[in-house]
Amino acid sequence: MKKKAVFEEKWLQKWKSLDSHIKIDSYRIFSRYVGEDINILPLEYCATVIEPFLNPKQFWAYYNDKNMFDKIFGTDILPKTIIRNIDGSYYTADYKIYKEKILSLSIASKCIIVKPSIDGESGRGVVKLQKGNGNINLESLRCQFGENFIVQECLSQHPYMSQFNNTSVNTIRVMTYRSLATNEVVIPNAILRVGAEGKDVDNAHAGGMFCGISANGVLGKYMCDYLGNKKKSFNGVDYSNSDFCIPNYNRVKEFAKEVADKVLHHRLLALDIMLDEQGNPKLIEVNVGGFSAWLFQYTNGSAFGQYTDEVISFLMEKK
């Protein structure tokens, strides 16, 4: 990215106070999407310094294991767990060893989601299964998914969210930050993720796209893919001439803060939240590592926004 952007010197002055080797690339790229904002986060510095500082790596594994979500966050806000595989052993939803010798498990739901409980990123390995007879074969699951996975009931999303794509659960990616100054959880950013038509997942790396969400829940006027390609419409839905607004968005933000309050070891989270048929938020994913700042900086603004100086100040102290 060789073409210069406005305020490059101011941006460099701000960020080189932390690292004299900061490259201008992030500012040149993202300023063309969200404007000449010197708070734009340099992605390489986020991954190597800011993330490890805010989210100590020794705790990542615990919060990345989907089989622990019911214990950490409670069952009411999550999709209903049917059965879980932990290190090769089957456990019930309430973490009791599954001792039945019968390999076929009868379930009420005819649609289930199977996903890796660890090391599952960008929707990889997530499979949606239609169970015509209401049964699942545990041995078949083990052969297909190996060890460490979770089986959950499918959730039906709110009709308003289905209009963007009805084959995937379209989630709201909410960035939460526990302030270094006050320990209060705040929400600097949020986006809507929409799956490609016919796909089960909404991840950008699986063909999905995303758009910005304002503080009051209004969607941005364009969609973006993971390479930064912009589109006015996606799946036949025109965003440029519409005033879409996320239903019950104030509750979504409250919900995100409630979830973040239960993660005491980490200050920076990316939460994936869906709205069920009644408009109630449900927690789908908690990301404590590999923070994708580019999602926000392609669509919404600088990642930390008004909290950027606060983060820089504390990093300078630790430096």
Residues 103-154 pLDDT 10s? 667 777 778 899 999 875 555 678 888 766 677 888 888 888 899 999 999 9
The one-letter amino acid code at 155 reads L
Output the pLDDT for position 129: 82
Q: Tell me the mean pLDDT in the region 265-293.
A: 95
Q: Which of 44-48, 221-225, 262-266 has the lowest mean pLDDT?
A: 44-48
Output the pLDDT for position 138: 85
Output the pLDDT for position 101: 59
Asked whether residue 102 carries a pLDDT value surpassing 60, the answer given is: no
d(CA 2, CA 108): 58
The one-letter amino acid code at 4 reads K
CA distances from 268 to 127, 175, 264, 265 (A): 28, 7, 10, 10
For residue 294, the SS3 value is: helix
Band (pLDDT 50/70/90 cuts) for residue 98 is confident
Joined tokens for residue 238? 């025109």
Output the pLDDT for position 103: 65
The pTM of this model reads 0.94
Higher pLDDT, 76 or 130: 76
Q: Tell me the mean pLDDT in the region 87-97.
A: 92
Band (pLDDT 50/70/90 cuts) for residue 220 is very high
CA distances from 242 to 232, 236, 237, 247, 308 (A): 10, 13, 9, 15, 31
Asked whether residue 290 carries a pLDDT value surpassing 80, the answer given is: yes
Q: Tell me the mean pLDDT in the region 149-162.
A: 95
Q: Which of 10-24, 132-146, 221-235 has the lowest mean pLDDT?
A: 132-146
For residue 306, the SS3 value is: helix
Band (pLDDT 50/70/90 cuts) for residue 278 is very high
Band (pLDDT 50/70/90 cuts) for residue 178 is very high
